[in-house]
Every structure is written in structure tokens, then in C-alpha cells.
Amino acid sequence: MADLNNLISPFFLNDKEIRKVIELLFFSYRDFTSGPDKILEKLNFGRAHHRVIYFVGKKKNITIKELLGVLKITKQSLSRVLNQLVNERFIIVSTGIDKRTKKLSLTQKGEDLENQLSTIQIDKIKKVINKFSEENINGFKEILYDMIETDNKKIFQQIND
Amino acid sequence: MADLNNLISPFFLNDKEIRKVIELLFFSYRDFTSGPDKILEKLNFGRAHHRVIYFVGKKKNITIKELLGVLKITKQSLSRVLNQLVNERFIIVSTGIDKRTKKLSLTQKGEDLENQLSTIQIDKIKKVINKFSEENINGFKEILYDMIETDNKKIFQQIND
DNA sequence: TTATTTAGGTCAGCCATATTGACTTAATTA
DNA sequence: TAATTAAGTCAATATGGCTGACCTAAATAA
């Protein structure tokens, strides 16, 4: 049955080729995050700090709850990371109209770091993108989007208004 | 200057669009690993165990050194994970022709688990792939490959002979 | 043949990132 | 007024990494 499945599958989606996709995702994702990791290390930050900085930069005045919804971690986990970023003046907190909520924004220092980190990844993507057609790039994005679970697709849409 | 850059850049690679790619990679990769994670949890294993099982399954008789080269972790880190997998009979160790080396392989139990984990990811990719053209899929793979650093491209080639 | 290198292992301690559970405060809403 | 919500905190635990130091056995080079 599995063999039959392989026979009727076009080459580009037989199991052997699909396993390559698994590996490509693993290696490419690892290399994609390694650049920022090096910069963060000097500041004694980790990838968790990067994610917070990224999404606070993306959505100004994001609340704790919204941020937790994007990151899908517990507030206890966020707490340590966020407190460090606030204490070291990368992020500034203000109170929302609903006084229970807090709004997070990057300071200038935070924006500078965000820029430094994102530039590495943006440049990496630009370099790659220049070698491919618009069709390829759009296909790439659509495939990635398709791989996201429904709930997270909504979150992706939300942070992109 | 940045504005000019945006103006002369085609829409599909301006910074705003590229940031979406960053997010797509983040969300899709997270969802891609979440399925196996749930199964591993029941066995008190983590993603590190998955990676070991995956690459031992991929390359039968892989040595410790080769495995470390793929995973890019220290032997101390591998040690704990690998010992658990050996103790619980998912992986079997034998001595190489060079008697300093050890060769790792999956047991039947290990293969069963490997299959269970990989099937989730393979099915996920199959589902996605069926919605796209062969050109899109090949483009997707080529872009991912292009995002990998030179050294790791070599490793990718090695494990795929 | 001796010296060096290589493959692998181990002990100890440390750090980052995550978890669960219990509990608190303050503000909003029903 | 009661219930819910947003946020915070304390404590304990797990996982997955790291560095450094040190060891054994086997292969290779001088």
C-alpha cells in the first residue's frame, strides 16, 4: 500500500523527497536564527528576547495578553524575559485605557536593536529572493502560510492588520 | 535612502513583505514541530530526541561524530538524550571497523517511533503540496536550500548521499 | 616504537527557556 | 455587589543547551 502510494505519487512528493523538505526546514530555520543569536548573546539575551522585541516592534502598544497569544508561552515565562527588556530600557510599558492592561513599545534603544536583528534576517531573505522569480517567492510564501494552523493564521493576519 | 530602496524594490521584496516572510517562517516552523512534540511528551522525550531518532533513521550506522556534526551540539548534550534512547531500546549501538567509533541504528521500536513522528510531518507536507504546482514545490525547496549556510548545505548533501 | 591525535565518555556546574500550580491585586463588566 | 479579566508573583520542575576538566582506547604519524 505504501509502495503503491509511492508509485502513484509524482516524484516531487514521494516520501524520500518529502523527507528532504523536513531536513531543509530544519537546516534553513536553524541558520536563519543563528545570525541574530550571536548579537543577542553579547547582550546576555536569547531567542526569547528576540521574539518579544520583534513582536513589540511589529505591533506598537501591544498588550501582555496579545503578546502571550502570539508567543504561545505562559506569562511566567514571558515575565522574566520582558522584565529584563524593561529594566534594560529596550521596552517601555504604559497603562492602557482599560487600566488593567499594559501597553508595550520599543524605546529608541529597543528599536535600534530590533533593527539590527531584523536587518540580518531581512538581508538574508533579500539575497535569496533576488535569485528567484516573483512566482517562486509568492509560492514560497503561500506554502509557508498553508503550513500554519488555522488559529495561528488568524494571529498572523491580526498582527498584519 | 531606505525609502528609495523601497521604491525601487519590487513589491514582493520590500521590507514590509519580507517581515511577513520572517513571521511565516516562525509560525510555520512552530506548527510543523508541534505534532511530533505531543507524541514525544508521552514518552518523556523532547525535540532533541526527535532529531536524534530522525537522523539515525536517515543514515543507518551513523557515528557519534557524524551525528554531532549534523546536530551541531556538544557531545555532553547529545550524551543524555542518546543514552536515554539506548537505555529504552529505541537505538542500538555497535562498534565500527575503526574500533574507536560507534555505529548507531534504530531498533524496530525506534523505527516504529520514527515512522510515527515522521508520518505526521510527511502528511502535513503532502497536504500542503497537493495544493501547489510542481514548479511551486521545487521553488519552495530551492529557496529553503538557498537559505542554508554553505557548511550545512554540505551536510545536507552528505546525509542524502 | 613512541608520541600524538582521534573517537568517545563522564563528572560537575551553570544557564536559558519553558512548564504547572497556587495565589494576589486591581479594574472592568454583568 | 459578584464575577471576570489582566497582570503579577512565588515556588518547584524539566529540558536542552553550554564550558571545563579529565579519562580510556585505538589509530596514525614522527
Q: What is the pLDDT of residues B22-61, one digit of tens each?
A: 999 999 999 999 999 999 999 999 999 999 999 999 999 9
Would B40 be classed as within a structural domain?
no
Q: Is the CB of A90 under 7 A from strand C?
A: no
CATH assignment at residue B121? 1.10.10.10
Would A129 be classed as within a structural domain?
no
- The cell numbers describing A48, all together, are 526569547
Would B37 be classed as within a structural domain?
no
Q: Is the CB of A102 under 7 A from strand D?
A: yes
Would B51 be classed as within a structural domain?
yes
| Tens digit of each residue's pLDDT (9 = 90 or more) over A65-113 | 999 999 999 999 999 999 999 999 999 999 999 999 999 999 999 999 9
Q: Taking CB atoms and an 8 Å limit, are B28 and A148 in contact across chains?
A: yes
Number of domains observed in the structure of chain A: 1
What are the chain B neighbours of A15 within 8 Å (beta carbons)?
Answer: 122
Distance in angstroms (rounded) separating the CA atoms of residues B119 and B127: 12
Nearby residues of B119 by Cβ (< 8 Å), 6 or more positions away: none
Would B95 be classed as within a structural domain?
yes
* Confidence band for A48, pLDDT divided at 50, 70 and 90: very high
- The parent domain of residue A98 ranges over 2-123+134-159
Would B23 be classed as within a structural domain?
no
Q: Taking CB atoms and an 8 Å limit, are B122 and A15 in contact across chains?
A: yes
Would B104 be classed as within a structural domain?
yes
Long-range CB contacts (< 8 A, 24+ apart) of B37-43?
B39/B113, B39/B116, B39/B117, B39/B120, B40/B117, B43/B88, B43/B113
Predicted local distance difference test score (pLDDT) of residue A9: 64
Would B33 be classed as within a structural domain?
no
Picking from B13, B128, B141, the nearest residue to A147 by CB comes out as: B128
pLDDT at B7 exceeding the cut of 90: no
pLDDT averaged over every residue in chain B: 93
Q: Is the CB of A46 under 7 A from strand D?
A: no
| Tens digit of each residue's pLDDT (9 = 90 or more) over A147-161 | 999 999 999 999 998
Per the CB < 8 A criterion, the answer to whether B24 and A160 are in contact is no
| Tens digit of each residue's pLDDT (9 = 90 or more) over B55-98 | 999 999 999 999 999 999 999 999 999 999 999 999 999 999 99
